[in-house]
A and B are shown apart, each in its own frame.
Chain A
Amino acid sequence: DTAVSQTPKYLVTQMGNDKSIKCEQNLGHDTMYWYKQDSKKFLKIMFSYNNKELIINETVPNRFSPKSPDKAHLNLHINSLELGDSAVYFCASSRTSTGEQYFGPGTRLTVT
C-alpha cells in the first residue's frame, strides 16, 4: 500500500540519452511535485502540478519536462542527459491547501 511510488529506483545511462521516471500516488492528492537532491543532499523543487496544470516551474533546463496523464501520476522526462543530471529525484504529493507533502522513495539517476 505504498502511498507515493517511483520507478525505477536506480537508473544508469549514458550522456545524450533520453529517459523517463514515473511517479504514482494513491492518496487522492491534488498536487504532485518533483525534487532534485544533489550529491550534497541539497533538495530543490523542480516542478509541481495541480489538477494536471503546471503551476510552478523553477529554473530548470527545458530538457526536463513533467507530464501528467492524470491526477495520480506525474512523470519526469529528461532529454539529452548530461553528467550534471546525476542526482536522486524525488516525487511528492500533497493536498493543495495543507502543505504536507508525502515523498516517494527516490530514483537515483547516474549519467556516465
Chain B
Amino acid sequence: AQSVTQLGSHVSVSEGALVLLRCNYSSSVPPYLFWYVQYPNQGLQLLLKYTSAATLVKGINGFEAEFKKSETSFHLTKPSAHMSDAAEYFCAVSEGQTGANNLFFGTGTRLTVIP
C-alpha cells in the first residue's frame, strides 16, 4: 500500500529565504512521486515528478525535489521564496508502472511567504 506523510501543515518563510517542504512516502513497489501546488480556489497544478530516472528532479517556478530511497523522502525545495509561491502544496505517490495509477496524497502543507 502507498501512503505519504507531509511534516508540517503550515510553513512560513520570509521572501527570499529558502523553502523546504517535507514529504516521506511508504510504498511496497518502486514509487512514482509528485508534488502538486494548489492556489486558492483553483485546481491542482503539477510542479514536478519522479519516475525512477534522475533522483534530483527540477520542476516549474524554480522548485526542485530530491528522491532519497534510503530515507524514503522526497522533499521540495526552492532557494529563494517569492510572494507568488504562497499556496497549498501536496506530495503524492503512485505505484507507477507496476500497478494502478492512483495518486495517494499527503495532507498538504500551506506555505506562507512573509514580505
On A, residues with C-beta under 8 Å from B are 4, 31, 33, 35, 40-45, 48, 55-56, 90, 92, 94, 96-106
Report whether A101 and B42 are in contact in the complex, using a CB–CB cutoff of 8 Å.
no
Collect the chain A residues with CB atoms within 8 Å of residue B101's CB: 31, 48, 94, 96-97, 99, 101
Residues A106 and B43 in contact in the complex (CB < 8 Å), given A99-B32, A99-B96:
yes
Q: Tell me how many residue pairs across A and B have CB atoms closer than 8 Å.
A: 60
Collect the chain B residues with CB atoms within 8 Å of residue A94's CB: 101
Report the minimal beta-carbon distance from B74 to chain A, rounded to whole angstroms: 14
B100 at the interface (CB under 8 A from A): yes
Name B's interface SS. Answer: strand
Q: Determine which residue in A31, A55, A94, A101 has the highest number of CB atoms from chain B within 10 A of its CB, and name it.
A: A101
Name A's interface SS. Answer: strand
On B, residues with C-beta under 8 Å from A are 32, 34, 36, 38, 42-46, 49, 51, 88, 90, 94, 96-97, 100-105, 107-108
Residues A103 and B45 in contact in the complex (CB < 8 Å), given A41-B88, A45-B102, A48-B100:
yes
Give the distance in Å from the alpha carbon of A24 to the alpha carbon of B66 in the complex.
Answer: 34
Report whether A90 and B43 are in contact in the complex, using a CB–CB cutoff of 8 Å.
yes
Report whether A103 and B107 are in contact in the complex, using a CB–CB cutoff of 8 Å.
no
Report whether A99 and B42 are in contact in the complex, using a CB–CB cutoff of 8 Å.
no
Report whether B100 and A41 are in contact in the complex, using a CB–CB cutoff of 8 Å.
no
